[in-house]
Amino acid sequence: MTQTAFDKKPLAAALEYRLPTFPVVPMSAPRTTETKWGGVYVERGKPTARHRDVLDAVLIAGQRVSDRAGQLHVVFDLAEVRRLLHTETDWRGIKKMLLDLAGTVISLRQPGQGWPPAFPVLTFVGESNSTADRAGHQFPAKLKRITLSAGAAALLAAEARICLTRETVERVLSLQHQISRSLARWCLSHSNEQHHRLADVLVAIGAGTQASIRDEIERTGTEDLVNLCCMLSPYGPREKQALLEAETLSTRAETLIALAEQYPRARMVAAHANHPSFRPEEACAYARALKALGVTIDVSTLDMIETRFRNHPENFDALVDAGLIDTLSTDYAGGDWDSIGSAVHRITRRKGWSLPRAAALATGNVAHVFPELFADRGLLKAGRKADIIIAEPHNISKIRDVYKDGKLVVSDGILFPSAAHGLQK
């Protein structure tokens, strides 16, 4: 991966991104949280992930200046900060968030080390040309200014394996939901050389329970999820930046091929391989190249089988004909998604695949790719979960009966009222 000119200017130390300093769920002070990546002690204040958003926007929008006393100031244009935050909030609202940070006192420690002295995040928030806290330095008028404490300045200046470009931080701030942004920050400070338990990561970002992340994913749009998955990818910060900053899907596909060549042991899934942004021959060419490198090729039903409101089946059919598909998934598709059953039916009836082979795309193959999540299902086998659907033999897309944990919960397309609560759980 090529380095950018910004690589030598870290925006945040990895330690700060790895700990629930700015948690998704507000926590009362004083509080101490320990994780395997270190600990955070909040002596005063209730800093949240939203405060981290504002601080990130100020740091990348502003110019950093050190005065004669060695204090680090950031002078910034309010309009640019508002643009980065995608908000119409006026100066009073943003200033309040920054003043909250001026009233926040924290201490962060590395694993196995003692607690260093606590420090406020900011010592000044106001107009750039205010005489307060500037050690005689002159700043341009009509701008805003924050002054970081010595502790915060040292934290931001620390070389901690994370150097973020402006483009990457903008992508993080563009993610629609708070938990997505917090997960993205945490992922950017990890190379993911080893797999991490979701429960551990949720604790590290102060996100609460696994149910909260599931709810968040349900509300998150496709573009957010694609960008978040780039950050979750098993690579270092520079590689993740290359994925995020790819201007087209073709560029992103070529980047994935390069990463697969560089990291042959990584587990990769090329999702939405049938996306209509590709021509059929392009979709097959990229899928063939990735598959040869051990990458799993996933296709989505989108709305391209029955609805065909935004998408077409040509890429899907081409990938099926070429025998390049490994797994099958769905997509929200603006609320018009087609079902897994519809895709399986199309593959068996129009493409001549056997039913076991086609059904495996959404069952056994998925369990094989993600054994940590689905090792207990995906096959009709003793010891596996007895979650089974029965479809009409002449039309696989028409689901007749559903068994959950071996119990009949849907019969002839009708959900048993007594089973509804269990399915929601």
* pLDDT tens digits, one per residue of 354-385: 999 999 999 999 999 888 778 888 998 888 88
Asked, for residue 177, whether it belongs to a domain, the answer is no
> Same domain for 65 and 132?
yes
Write out the two tokens for 360. Answer: 């495996």
Domain that holds residue 258: 246-379
Tell me which residue of 151, 157, 169 sits closest to 61, measured CA to CA.
169
Asked, for residue 145, whether it belongs to a domain, the answer is yes
Element (H, E) at 38: strand 38-44
Which has the higher per-residue pLDDT, 327 or 254?
327
**Mean of pLDDT values over 126-130:** 87
Asked, for residue 61, whether it belongs to a domain, the answer is yes
Q: What is the pLDDT of residue 48?
A: 92
Which has the higher per-residue pLDDT, 3 or 281?
281
Q: Write down which residue in 99, 124, 157 finishes a domain.
A: 157
Residues 339-376: b if buried by 16+ CB within 10 A, e if exposed: bbbbbbbbbbeeeebeeeebbbbbbbbbbbbeeeebee
> Same domain for 11 and 151?
yes
- Whether residue 297 is predicted with pLDDT greater than 90 in this model: the reply is yes
Q: Are 173 and 84 within 8 A, CB to CB?
A: yes
| Calpha distance 183→23 (Å, rounded) | 11
> Same domain for 263 and 406?
no
Report how many domains make up the chain. Answer: 3
- Whether residue 190 is predicted with pLDDT greater than 60 in this model: the reply is yes
| Calpha distance 72→149 (Å, rounded) | 8
Asked, for residue 393, whether it belongs to a domain, the answer is yes
- DSSP β-ladder status, 296-300 and 414-415: unpaired
User: In angstroms, how far is CA 319 from the centroid of its own chain?
Assistant: 27
Tell me which residue of 406, 397, 271 sits closest to 325, measured CA to CA.
271
Which has the higher per-residue pLDDT, 391 or 200?
391
User: Binning pLDDT at 50, 70 and 90, where does residue 349 land?
Assistant: confident
> Same domain for 324 and 407?
no
Q: What is the pLDDT of residue 269?
A: 87
- Whether residue 164 is predicted with pLDDT greater than 80 in this model: the reply is no
> Same domain for 390 and 368?
no
Q: What is the pLDDT of residue 254?
A: 80
**Mean of pLDDT values over 267-288:** 89
Supply the pTM of this predicted model: 0.57
- Whether residue 6 is predicted with pLDDT greater than 60 in this model: the reply is no
Spell out the alpha helix ranges (H) of 126-248: 150-157, 166-174, 178-188, 198-204, 210-219, 222-232, 237-244
Q: What is the pLDDT of residue 5?
A: 32
> Same domain for 111 and 254?
no
> Same domain for 353 and 392?
no
Residues 269-281: b if buried by 16+ CB within 10 A, e if exposed: bbbbbbbbebebe
